[in-house]
Amino acid sequence: MNATSHLVRKVPDVSSPDVLRNVVLVGPSGSGKSALFERLTGVAPRDADDQERSTGLRAAAIGYAAPGGGDDLAMTFLDTPGHPDFVGEVRAGLRAADAAIFVVSAVEGLDAPTRALWHECNLAGTPRAIALVNLDRSGADFAQTLAACQAHFGSSVQPIGVPVGQDNIGGTTAIADLALGEIHDYSGASRVVRLATAQHAPAFDTYRGSLIEAVIEESEDDTLMDRYLGGEDVDFATLERGLLTAVSRGSFHPVVAVSKDTGAGIDVLLHLVAAAFPPPTLRPLPVVTDISGTQTVEVAADPRSPLTAEVVRTTSDPYLGHVSLVRVFAGTLTAAEPVHVSGHLARFDPRPGEGHADHDEDVRPGQIGLPLGEDVTAVEQAIAGQIVVVTKLGTAQTLDTISSVDHPLLITPWALPEALLPVAIKAASRGDDDKLPGALREVAAEDPALVVEHSAQTGQVVLWVTGRAQLDLLLERLRDRHRVDVTTEPVKVALRETFTRAGAAQGRHVKQSGGHGQFAVVSLEVTPLPPGSGVEFTETVVGGSVPRQFISSVEKGVRQQLENGLLFGWPVVDVRVTLTEGKAHSVDSSDMAFQTAGALALRELASPETMGLLEPVDLVRVTVDDEYLGTVMTDLSTRRGQIMGTDAAGEQEGRTVLTAAIPQLELVDYAIGLRSLAHGTGTFTRELHGYQAMPDREAQKASAAVR
C-alpha cells in the first residue's frame, strides 16, 4: 500500500532555488530512519550486510506535487548512518541540508548522540521536525516517547497528529489531525479523511490545547494569546500560518506520528516539508573566503552568484573513479565549464593527517546527476541549492570547495568529530607494505575524520578513529578495495627518560690509525631539573682545556645523544649538562671527535640507578550526563587519573564537564570505555599536559619491553 503515490512523481526541471527542499534524516541505528527514508523516496532497501552502504550518506531526489495545485517541488532527502562512530557523515548531511527530521522510535526512544545533534542544530537554528516511528512494534508507547522528547528538547516540541487507530495485527491505521479536528484513515487502499467523533475526544483533549498555546507563543500577533485565553477560537488558517512560520525559523518542532508499514502520516510529513521547511534562499550559507582564506566573500543562493559548492562525500567506484556528492550553495555548476577544486583542511584542523595535503587544481567535471539511492539521473546543470552527484572531479576530497576557475573560493568546513581511538597497524606482507601508503592516502581522502599518524618515535603507523565501527570499515576498504592486508598491534606510547640524580663522568675518544688520528676528552656533569624544563647545556671551562671552537661540538654531540636516548631509546629531558673541562690535541682533535666524546660521557653517566622513565600525561575534559558522573570519576581513578575539577556544561542542562590529568598509557582505549560507562552520553577532548615519573611497576614493564 502506498498512501502517497499521488503526491510523488518525477523530479521537475529546476530553474529557481525556491522550489527546492533539502532535508536530512537523523536518528540512531535501529530507529527506523532508513526505512522511513525508503518509504518517503521509493528507494530500494539497502543490504543490511553491506557495511560500506550502511555507514555513509544516501541521497534521493524526488518530485512533489502538492494537493490543490501550486508549483511542483524538488525534494532531496539524505539518509545518515545511525552509529555514533559516523557522526562525521551526519554532520556532512546537516551541512548539505536546510532542515532536519529527527527520527525517534516509539520503542527505543532517544539516544545520547541524537540529543547531542539536536543541541548542535539548536545552535545553528536549523529547522527540525520529529518523526515518531515504530508505532506498529510491540512495546511502542507514543505518549511516553513524546514526553521524553519534550523533556530533552523543550516545550516547543508538540505533536500535530497522534495515532488513534490500529488494524488487527497492530498496524497504525488512523492519525488524528489536531489542528483540523480530522481523522486520516489509512486502513484502505488510499487515505480517507473524516471528521473526528466522540471516541477520539481523549486524544484532542490531551494534546490540542498545548499545541495551540505553543503555536500562539510563536505568533507575531501579540494579542492572539489573550484572545485565545479569553475564549476566542483560533481558526485553522491562523494556526497553520503561525505553525509553519515557527517551524521555518527553527523555533517550533512538530511531531508527526508515522507508520512505515501502513503509510500513515507519510503524507503529513511530506506536506510539512513542502509548506514549512525553508528553501535554500532562506537559510544562511557557510562562511566563504577567497582562496588565501584572508578575506570573506559574500555569495547568495542564486544561480547567477559566483559558483560556490562543496563536496560533502567522496567515494571510489571501480568503474567511475571518484564519485562526489556535491551541494551547490551559490551559482550554477555545469559539465561544460571547468571548475577549480581546492582543499586546505590544515587551515582549520590542527591534525589534518595524511591524505589531506593542501591542493588546488582546475578540472572539467564529468557527469552531473540527481541521486536516487544507487541510481543517478543525468542533468545538464545544477543550480544554487541543489544536491547532485558529480564524477571525474580529479582528486577531489570530502570537504573540498568547487568554484569557478576565474574566482577560486574556499568554504569553511563543518566541525569534524575528533578521532580519539588510536589503533596501530602494520602490513601483513612485504607486498602489502609497498601498497599501504597509497591506500591510506585514498581512504583518508574519503574520510576527513580519520587521522593517519606515522610516529617517528615509536616507528608505528597509527590510525586515529572515532570507534571500532569506523576502524572495521577502514580495514574492509583497505582489504577489499585496495587489496592491502594489515594487522593491528598494541599502540606504543612515546615515553621520555630523565636523570634522577646528579653525576659526573669523563668521555674519551682517542684513536690512532695512520695519518691524522682522533682525539677528544671531555668531563661532564648532569643535574636533574624540574618537570618541563627541557634540556640545558652550559660550560665552565677555564684555561682553554677545551678550545672555544669545540665547545659547540660537545653541545651538538650531547644534544644528539639525549635526543636518541640513553637506556631505553627515548629522548632525555629535564636535565642540565655542564661541560667542566677536557683535553685537546693540536692535530688530531676535530668537531666530530668532540661530538663523540660528549656522547660517550653521557653514556658513562647513564644507569638504572641514575635514570628513570617519564610518561606523557594528557589534560582530559569529559562531558557526560550527570547520572553517569560518579561512574566516570570512579573509572578515571582506576586509570591513575587526577581529578582537577567539575563544571556545568554550559547550555547543556543536566551535563557536567569533568577535568582530569590522565597518563596517555591509560587513554589508549578510553574512547571505547567511556562510551560503555556513560551509555553513549560521554564525549571527551585531550591535549598534552606534560610528563610525570612512571610508577615503578609501569616503568618495569616498559623497561622489559625494551630489553
Among positive and negative, which fits the CA dihedral 176, 177, 180, 186?
negative
Q: Could you give the angle at which helices 548-564 and 591-605 cross, rounded to 10 degrees?
A: 50
Tell me the pLDDT band of 349, cut-offs 50, 70 and 90. Answer: confident
Residue 69 is predicted with a pLDDT of 62
Query: Residue 607: how many CB atoms within 10 A of its CB?
Result: 12
- Asked whether residue 465 carries a pLDDT value surpassing 50, the answer given is yes
Higher pLDDT among residues 423 and 349, named by residue = 423
Q: For residues 584 and 625, is the Cβ–Cβ distance under 8 A? A: no
- Give SS3 for 358: coil
Cell numbers at 241, concatenated: 500560518
Residue 4 is predicted with a pLDDT of 46
Tell me the pLDDT band of 26, cut-offs 50, 70 and 90. Answer: very high
Q: For residues 609 and 493, is the Cβ–Cβ distance under 8 A? A: no
Q: What is the pLDDT of residues 536-592, one digit of tens each?
A: 999 999 888 999 999 999 999 999 999 999 998 999 999 999 999 999 998 889 999
Q: What is the pLDDT of residues 124-140, one digit of tens each?
A: 889 999 999 998 888 88
Cell numbers at 420, concatenated: 580519539
* Domains of the chain by start residue, with CATH: 8-282 (3.40.50.300), 288-411 (2.40.30.10), 421-489 (3.30.70.870), 496-609 (3.30.230.10), 613-706 (3.30.70.240)
Cell numbers at 55, concatenated: 555507514
Pairing outcome for strands 20-26 and 73-79: parallel
- Tell the burial category of 305 from Cβ atoms under 10 Å away from its Cβ (0-12, 13-18, 19+): middle
- CA distances (Å), 340 to each of 284, 333, 403, 410, 560, in order? 23, 11, 5, 10, 46
Phi, psi of 413 (to 5 degrees): -70, 160
- Asked whether residue 266 carries a pLDDT value surpassing 80, the answer given is yes
Q: Which residues on adjacent β-strands are paired with residue 388?
A: 326
Task: Find the mean pLDDT for residues 594-616.
Answer: 95
The CA angle 636-638-642, to the nearest 5 degrees, is 50
Q: What percent of the chain has pLDDT over 70?
A: 94
Higher pLDDT among residues 705 and 254, named by residue = 254
> Which are the contacts of 434, defined by CB distance < 8 A and separation ≥ 6?
none
Q: What is the pLDDT of residues 174-194, one digit of tens each?
A: 888 888 888 888 887 778 888
Residue 25 is predicted with a pLDDT of 95
Residue 295 is predicted with a pLDDT of 93
Residue 537: HSE in the Cβ half-sphere, 13 Å Cα cutoff? 16
